[in-house]
Structure 1
Amino acid sequence: SWFHFSFTVPVARRQALFGGRVGLRVPARLSTRGVSAGAEAGGPAARAATVISPEEAVEWVKKDRRRLLHVVYRVGDLDKTIKFYTECLGMKLLRRRDIPEERYTNAFLGYGPEDSHFVVELTYNYGVESYDIGSGFGHFGIAVEDVEKTVELIKAKGGTVTREPGPVKGGKSVIAFIEDPDGYKFELIERGPTPEPLCQVMLRVGDLDRAISFYEKAFGMELLRRKDNPQYKYTIAMMGYGPEDKHAVLELTYNYGVKEYDKGNAYAQIAIGTDDVYKTAEVVRQNGGQITREPGPLPGISTKITACTDPDGWKSVFVDNLDFLKELEE
């Protein structure tokens, strides 16, 4: 049910930011739980105070200190997934917390501290053993120094390799593809030492030009590169806040002639840091995005967020930078 899949996932704490109300439908009888009126909940007063012109918005987005914080998704067996990520992919379990009253558990894993690295936020909802990944989500990318050795380790641990190591089609980069216990695909990319090994999230979109324009103008991302592969009938665009070898990026893929995808209920969203969630929400609106959670503090804590969907329906959450750091210190 929508109640089970949306409201029992992380609600009002810390980096469990996709929540029951963020970008997901909530039963009417629960939709106002914990939300106060007026400016604090991102109501009309807050919105009126943060209206900015399109010209001002362009300049502000360029100055906003934005960074990819988390990628959030659901798994059916948390212990099994943690074991796979730590033993096979070399991630560290950064923290884990159980919220029995809401019937879910979170685990945060990555290659460095959350205040400086892009990390995964896993969610286990009590009693839910599997999810539909859908056809829209593509893969996560991990940079490794030796793809063949990494694949050998994964095989030794019983992992699934879906594409053996070798050059990428039409290029020289050595890659391989694997699947985790829930069927999420990971692309292993051979690369020298990097400060951000968790380096990609690939999502499929129905109109690449529209998507690039949205992420540039609303999210302040830079188009790092674009590559058309007519032989295989797809085009990719790498979007991010810095070079691919040092920062995590969003890889948008357009498959010729495919306008819509099934998003399933497994992948949730990306969380991004911002200096001002109120201005961010206005800029997203101005550029065709839909605000699914008005900017303001989360119920019960002071962390300010806003949530939105892009023109293809992919969800994102923006989190106040200072509030995020305060939460990590608790």
Structure 2
Amino acid sequence: MSDSNTTNFTNPSTFILLGIPGLEAAHIWISIPFCTMYIITILGNFTILFTVKMEPKLHVPMYYFLCMLAVTDLVLSTSILPKTLNIFWFNSREIDFNACFTQMYFMHFFSAMESGILLAMALDRYVAICDPLRYSTILTNPVVSKIGLAMVLRGSMLVLPYLLLAKRWPYCRTNIIPHTYCEHMAVVNLACADIRVSSYYGLFMAFFLSSLDLFFIALSYTQILRAIFSLPTKDARLKTFGTCVSHICVILASYIPAFFSFFMHRLSHNVPLYFHILIANMYLLVPPMLNPIIYGVRTKQIRDRLLRLFIIKGPKVFS
């Protein structure tokens, strides 16, 4: 009878997401900043996409990569937040077995995509500063398209083993996930099997992929800084470096929360579970919210286009 019950429970039809265990009474209050961040993410990234589409001067590789980043951020935040808000607002905790793994795949796939796009943007800044005369011949539209396609293929191929490994485990202990979304380790820890392969692959992805991208980004900026310091005047150096500030801020906003969450999860075993879950949400929600703000504030072409848009439309509102 026990065997029969275990067999019937293996790979349950649904999982139960608990939200943030220990802070259930505060779910409504926590949902306010979460929802605010999501609204800012949607408005900010759609504004970037609209501005680039409407302004012909922005139809250059730098802003094509920015549009790729905006789409990635929109999908990444949308893959987790609507379900999280359903848990907070309506106590809707059930998620279909296959939907859970689909969410897991999209989350990790677009996280890998974001890292790759940041690397592509570093390449763009490297070519623009270190080899400006050949910029338009090196980063042509077909080359930008191929880089984007390479990032998609890389992300899909590297993240697919996450899904395949996670789905092959038998889930017969419980179907309760102490998290707001189907985070990889939170799900596979429910398996009644030796999950070391999944754990090691998760370490490989977090360390190897992100560290490799970060290494090449650092290498690009080493060459960029050498080129900047070789410029004859201070004004020229500041002006050239200013074209990189937005990208540097986005890199910091993306990698610092991710690495903080990763190392805290692996090393800080005395930290309360709810703090782990809050940080795991922050590193997926904060960068998509900050990226369009950083580029909107720091990039003159985007600011000018938005100002023209509001100045042109302004009088019509009061007419």
Which is helix-richer, 1 or 2? 2
Structure of higher CA gyration radius: 2
TM-score in terms of structure 2 length: 0.25
Which is strand-richer, 1 or 2? 1
TM-score in terms of structure 1 length: 0.25
